[in-house]
Amino acid sequence: MLREPRNLLFEIGPHLFAFAADLAGELTDIHVSLGKPITLPGALGERHQSWRVLAKAGSTDVAINMSLVEGVDDRSVTVRGTGAIAKLDYAQDTLNLRYENAAELVISPLMQQMGQAGQHIANGARNSVKQLLSLNSKNPYDLSFTNTVGQIYRDMIQGTAIDALFSGASARKVIAGLEAVTNMVPPQPKATQAPARAPKPTVLVIEGTGVPGRDLTRGLVADGADVRVLSRGTGSPFGDITDRVELFAASLKDEESLGKAMEGIDTVYHLAKSDNATWEGYLENDVAVTERLARAALQAGVKRFIYTGTIASYDMPDPAQTITEETGFGDDMENRNLYARAKALCETRLLELHKEQGLPLVIARPGIVVGPGGPLQHWGIGKWNGAGAVKIWGRGNNILPFVLIDDVTDALVKMRHAEAALGQDYNLIGEPMMTGRDYFRAIGDAQQAHIRVTGSSFTALHLVEKIKYTLKRYALRKKNVTKIPLSDWKSRGHLSPFDNSKAKRDLGWTPVESKEEFVRRAIIEANLFGL
């Protein structure tokens, strides 16, 4: 999507251009303005995060605004007519009209706002009932795609004429407008210089094109290694170090191709994870994949297999309990959230292979990772409703296990060399510095951006979850539903402190100690809002 500047517009633009073409007609007399440039990693160059398109469609003036900068979500269409303004918010599934009125000047503003308020209340009530009856499963944005595609196939199957909205002629209008805009964007210069040498990889990074894989790959190159990056795609964020990095396309479910990926490799970093709705999905896409990779590593004779787990697998509800690598995950993992449970099971299976077959295993468990490339809306800190509001897990007054992405990279690179690391596990937690509320205050001070922060009650979160479980299990008859205990909710608040001395001792690891330095690298240089 980011390989060429035009690709981004073809990804996000068709929705808005389709509204314009359907409501007003084909776009002409187009003008384009770009803003908020950022430089992508590697040799991909500069990309713009905001696009403003001014055009005409018959007698109608059209303005299309697109922005990828973090902020309040606004996916809407506004039409200004002679008697009213209509605003369709298709992300929230609301339609509001603002009419002029002929009331006396003194009460006209009151009547106008009362009319608006009535519409907002009606929209809110309707959508609340819809989500309640569907158990929050009717996402309007998702349904728009489902219903569109469904209608097209119904028309085809029944042999009826396809709605004009979905016809090839309509599609051509949209694409013509998009192409007219992209033709006005100056092309990015491309690096044509061939690599000075072909890489000779000795390190394999699985999921190396994501975060923190990109940072780890560059850290390994800086450490003197040539790296093979296992990726399902063909795009590379390493255009500036092509003589040191080799991309290898393979499926994580294909043992033969995984074996080829590990030829000549002495160190494997397994950073991959999956996101599934069911435990069966995690067993197939996370646990089985991890076992498959470990078997391939044993077959290839690699010298070190480094796996990234998560501190989320720990029980962390007790502020009086300091967590070390000796703490263990507890005996009730079946009642934990699926992600934490799957990661813990992956570790168990790998440790069995280490003891029984000599898998040269090292386990890393990063804390709440922050820094360049990381998300503003980090769910390790709280529950987000867009970029402008977060509900912290708990009161938000306990120190959180933050760690800089640079420090995680440093530790992972050191694990490759440290003799003491073989067969060990490490909690990669930075020095204790900030609570959740401290973190968001620092964002406000550094970025001049206000995020609405509220605390939460673990008991209330647990009660709501119990109600959802009951409805899903008995009203919708869903079998694969997990009942999450109160302790799991408390663990999300990271109430228990961590001891990071083992990693510092065995690896010679020195995470950043200065709070000012942490804020600079975690917030200011991270450019969290893309401003």
Report yes or no on 17 lying in a domain. yes
What is the mean predicted confidence (pLDDT) over 496-514?
96
Q: Is pLDDT above 70 for 455?
A: yes
Amino acid 176 reads A
Report yes or no on 162 lying in a domain. yes
Q: Which residues pair with 427 in a beta bridge?
A: 365
pLDDT for 80: 94
Q: Identify the DSSP state of 393.
A: S
pLDDT, tens digit, 9 for 90 and up, residues 216-236: 999 999 999 999 999 766 667
What is the mean predicted confidence (pLDDT) over 274-303?
93
Can you say how many angstroms the Cα of residue 117 is from the centroid of all Cα atoms in its chain? 35
Number of domains the chain contains? 1
Burial of 522 (0-12, 13-18, 19+ CB in 10 A): buried
97-131 in b/e burial notation, b at 16+ Cβ within 10 A? Answer: eeeeeeeeeeeeeeeeeeeeeeeeeebeeeeeeee
Report yes or no on 327 lying in a domain. no
Q: Is pLDDT above 70 for 300?
A: yes
Answer yes or no: are the C-beta atoms of 338 and 393 closer than 8 Å. no
**208 or 176: which leads in pLDDT:** 176
Q: How many CB atoms lie within 10 A of CB 257?
A: 16
| Confidence tier at 191 by pLDDT (50, 70, 90) | low
Q: Considering only 92-96, 114-118, 283-287, 327-331, which range has the smallest mean pLDDT?
A: 327-331
What is the mean predicted confidence (pLDDT) over 60-85?
91
Q: Is pLDDT above 80 for 75?
A: yes
Report yes or no on 290 lying in a domain. no
Q: In what order do the strands lie in the sheet with 94-99?
A: 76-80, 84-89, 94-99
Could you give the CA distance from residue 112 to residue 114 in angstroms, rounded to a whole number?
A: 6
Structure-token pair, residue 144:
């728009």
Q: Is pLDDT above 90 for 453?
A: yes
Which residue shows structure tokens 């970093």?
Answer: 269
Structure-token pair, residue 45:
């160059």
Report yes or no on 82 lying in a domain. yes
Report yes or no on 472 lying in a domain. no
Could you give the CA distance from residue 425 to residue 418 in angstroms, rounded to a whole number?
A: 13
pLDDT for 195: 67
Highest mean pLDDT among 347-351, 442-446, 486-490: 347-351
Could you give the CA distance from residue 237 to residue 235 in angstroms, rounded to a whole number?
A: 7
pLDDT for 360: 98
3-state secondary structure of 134: helix
Could you give the CA distance from residue 102 to residue 481 in angstroms, rounded to a whole number?
A: 56
Report yes or no on 516 lying in a domain. no
**385 or 445: which leads in pLDDT:** 445
Average of per-residue pLDDT values in the chain: 90
The whole domain housing 54 covers 5-182
Q: How many CB atoms lie within 10 A of CB 252?
A: 22
Report yes or no on 149 lying in a domain. yes
3-state secondary structure of 383: strand
Helices (H), 159-204: 168-182
What is the mean predicted confidence (pLDDT) over 460-485?
83
Alpha-carbon dihedral sign for residues 18, 22, 26, 32? negative
Upper half-sphere CA count for residue 61 (Cβ side, 13 Å): 5
Amino acid 251 reads S
Q: What is the CATH number of the domain that holds 26?
A: 3.30.360.10
| Confidence tier at 33 by pLDDT (50, 70, 90) | very high
| Confidence tier at 517 by pLDDT (50, 70, 90) | very high
pLDDT for 304: 97
| Confidence tier at 105 by pLDDT (50, 70, 90) | confident
Q: Which residues pair with 52 in a beta bridge?
A: 33, 65
| Confidence tier at 210 by pLDDT (50, 70, 90) | confident
Q: Which percentage of the chain shows pLDDT scores above 90?
A: 61
CA angle 502, 206, 366 (to 5 degrees): 30
